[in-house]
A and B are shown apart, each in its own frame.
Chain A
């Protein structure tokens, strides 16, 4: 309603002053900054669907400004809205793009922290919202709930707890890294099965997972020594030898295979075992 009235006013202005009023109009709205911000975000995120991305971006901005206009009192946006906005922000940058990812986490944190009048005493995101966010992150990344359940059990928070920023960032990072990890384990299974339709041999799978476990269990010493030792354990020649010996020793039991779900579960267990539970 307000916009229609505003456009009516501008049309009533005399034509001779139209050029000036256009520039003033644009600078009044701060359109330059708006467009610049949206283009920067676009370049940072590099989505496959730029128009959809820009649409989402402006929709978020619109709902953000609506909340500001409504003033305090009842939360103008539901928790679900804020969650989906936060998820959209978190999906903009891959976790390997460290600074962009951290910025997005900060934005998402601040989005979820606005609880209207009822600010948490400790300061932070409500545990229920945090857990919901982690669960959505995992499911959006394509992980089944059975795969992500053990991880969530370790890092989720109680409904009433206040999650500080460091913990929030850590949880989000762990979920995104875990999603990548599971995808990698699926491609590992494909590699072990040799790309064939048949399920992979159990002995070979266990040799591969055993090598990974060995590398992860490398003794805690200076970083460089640890990396060298771990990389020696998962070098191609070492793996070739391990697989050759696994195959030869299990030749009598040829035929036992491991299906992809079991492989994924075992690989995920290796990762989850090293996640520190929240306390």
Chain B
């Protein structure tokens, strides 16, 4: 349940354009956002979440470390190809929605990832700018389904296993009295505020500095 968002560096979008970015008058239609993980950390991605801003199509490429046999080989693989974020690139629908891309939606399981590249495409010319915001990459947490069950849980007596009650006092009556005694003790304990009366407070006569001069 608790996904841990991996600390990652998201670089600013780089436009892919033919020609010089500054002098060219036409607006770019492709941006690339690089996401790197600190200190060469290998991440097992659970999902990638982001907020869209007028991006129509998304392609995700991941740089994955090869298997242990081929040490040092990193390769770029495409995990998500032309994933449509806006049903119609010219209209508003989906333009500012929140998206999550999960590992089961990807073409390859994203284990041992060292870097990610998000390629944004917006073919429509109606929008001045387009990008992705709040990009977060969550990694898989350990499976919590085998969390330890508390000891007392397994020691509960099943209701149908009634023990032999001959000569024993009525457990209901005993239990009810003990429960009330327990509740009264709890009331007492929770009401204790540890307000001091100052019995052992001194008024400064025993400061070490003063004593050393006597």
Q: Does B200 sit at the interface, judged by CB under 8 A?
A: yes
Q: Complex: how many Å from CA A157 to CA B173? A: 38
Q: Chain B interface: which size bin?
A: 35 or more
Residues of chain B within 8 A of A208, CB atoms compared: 174, 178
Known: A170-B192, A240-B168. A177 touches B197 (CB 8 A): no
Q: Does B156 sit at the interface, judged by CB under 8 A?
A: yes
**CB-based contact A236/B185 at 8 Å:** no
Known: A177-B188, A240-B171, A279-B200. A234 touches B178 (CB 8 A): yes
Question: Given A167, A193, A200, which contacts B195 in the complex, CB threshold below 8 Å?
Answer: A167
Residues of chain A within 8 A of B157, CB atoms compared: 235, 237-238, 241
Could you mark each residue 236-274 of chain A with 1 if its beta carbon is under 8 Å from any beta carbon of chain B, else 0? Answer: 111111011001000000000000000000010011001
Residues of chain B within 8 A of A194, CB atoms compared: 169-170
**A194: nearest chain-B partner, CB-CB:** B169
Which of A12-20, A77-85, A135-143, A180-188 forms part of the interface with chain B? Answer: A180-188
Interface size on A, residues (CB 8 A): 57
Q: Does B202 sit at the interface, judged by CB under 8 A?
A: no
Could you mark each residue 217-246 of chain A with 1 if its beta carbon is under 8 Å from any beta carbon of chain B, else 0? Answer: 000000001000111111111111101100
Q: Does A158 sit at the interface, judged by CB under 8 A?
A: yes
Q: Does B193 sit at the interface, judged by CB under 8 A?
A: yes
Could you mark each residue 25-51 of chain A with 1 if its beta carbon is under 8 Å from any beta carbon of chain B, else 0? Answer: 000000000000000000000000000
- A111 smallest CB distance to B (angstroms): 20
Known: A170-B195, A278-B197. A236 touches B172 (CB 8 A): yes
Query: Quick one: which of A164, A192, A200, A240 has the most chain B CB within 10 A?
Result: A240
Q: Does A67 sit at the interface, judged by CB under 8 A?
A: no
Q: Which of B163-181 contact A (CB under 8 A)?
A: 163-165, 167-175, 177-181
26 sampled A-B residue pairs with Cβ under 8 A: A163-B197, A166-B193, A166-B195, A167-B195, A170-B195, A173-B191, A177-B187, A181-B184, A185-B177, A188-B177, A215-B178, A215-B182, A225-B150, A230-B182, A231-B179, A232-B155, A232-B156, A234-B179, A237-B161, A240-B162, A244-B163, A247-B168, A270-B185, A271-B185, A278-B199, A279-B200
- Chain A interface residues (CB < 8 Å from chain B): 95, 122, 157-158, 161-164, 166-167, 170, 173-174, 177-178, 180-181, 184-185, 187-188, 191-194, 200, 204, 208, 211-212, 215-216, 225, 229-241, 243-244, 247, 267, 270-271, 274-276, 278-279
- Chain B interface residues (CB < 8 Å from chain A): 150, 152-153, 155-157, 159, 161-165, 167-175, 177-182, 184-185, 187-189, 191-200
